[in-house]
Amino acid sequence: MDADANVRAVLEVFAAIEQRDTARFLAHTHPEVSICWPPSLPWNDGLPGRPDKDGHYARSWLEVWAPLQPTAAERQMHPEVIAAADDRVVVRWRQRGRSPAGLCFDGQVLGLYEVRQGRLARAQMFYFDTDAVKRFLADAQDQGPPSRPSRPPAAGR
């Protein structure tokens, strides 16, 4: 396939992820797709339900981020194609999230994507600041949902 067709395939995957469209995602990914994340981040190297390289079922990217992306604004990745040649596409995109308590995250990621037979076959992500991602996730987990103010007792009770 040509570079333009490969770019279209990769951008279809981004659209599927933003829209949480599993059927569209599967239609544009190779059956043997490999997704590689920085090892310091708290999700596995694969897809939901697939064990990591050590056979453990860690949380997937979607399991970590779905609760932190309650609206389309947080799910919007704004993919920007940086380069495309032969079977490789490089895209810079945004990772966004908002904790239940309102803590926000907006970081950049560079992804290297390989397309085989017109479908995404391999993705490797390079976060610009993995420490910031880990801090956000830890803080979001520690904060939990926002507390509700207690109601004052009714008069005469």
In degrees, rounded to 5, the angle at the alpha carbon of residue 94 between the alpha carbons of residues 90 and 97 is 150
Q: 95 pLDDT exceeds 60?
A: yes
How confident is the model over 122-137, as a mean pLDDT?
94
**C-alpha closest to that of 8 among 154, 118, 144, 128:** 118
**C-alpha closest to that of 120 among 28, 7, 45, 36:** 28
Long-range contact set of residues 134-137: C-beta below 8 Å, sequence gap at least 24 = 134/40, 134/41, 134/42, 136/97, 136/99, 136/103, 136/105, 137/42, 137/64
| 3-41 pLDDT tens trace | 999 999 999 999 999 999 989 999 999 988 888 888 888
Q: 152 pLDDT exceeds 50?
A: no
- Output 51 or 127, whichever has higher pLDDT: 127
**C-alpha closest to that of 80 among 100, 51, 110:** 110
How much is the pLDDT for 57?
A: 54
How confident is the model over 106-110, as a mean pLDDT?
97
